[in-house]
């Protein structure tokens, strides 16, 4: 229950800061993956298992994040559904 309250507070702050949903999702995913990698000592296969995704998917996302960090770019916008 404490986690939900903290999450709701964070969402309120993001809405007040006019953070778009796509940006919020991208930032959450990036930070979640970085934290999981750190917890698993940068071991891709172990981290992928913990996250429930394929190792290749994780490797591609990590490479994308590294490229974005180097270039100072933001993630691409997702297509509208």
Place of tokens 């709701």: 8
Domains of the chain are: 20-81 (1.10.10)
2-12: average pLDDT: 93
> Widest CA span of the chain, in angstroms?
39
Burial-class residue 4 by CB neighbours within 10 Å (0-12, 13-18, 19+): exposed
Report the candidate in 69, 66, 32 with the shortest Cα–Cα distance to residue 52: 32
Burial-class residue 55 by CB neighbours within 10 Å (0-12, 13-18, 19+): middle
Residue 66 binned pLDDT confidence (cut-offs 50, 70, 90): very high
Please report the pLDDT score of residue 78 as a whole number. Answer: 52
Give pLDDT tens digits for 29-62: 999 999 999 999 999 999 999 999 999 999 999 9
């Amino acid at each position: 229950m404490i986690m939900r309250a903290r999450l709701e507070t964070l969402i309120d702050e993001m809405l007040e800061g006019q953070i778009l949903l796509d940006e919020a999702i991208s930032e959450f995913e990036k930070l979640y993956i970085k934290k999981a990698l750190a917890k698993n000592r940068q071991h891709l296969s172990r981290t992928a298992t913990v996250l429930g995704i394929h190792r290749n998917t994780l490797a591609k996302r990590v490479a994308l994040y590294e490229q974005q960090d180097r270039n100072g770019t933001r993630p691409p916008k997702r297509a509208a559904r």
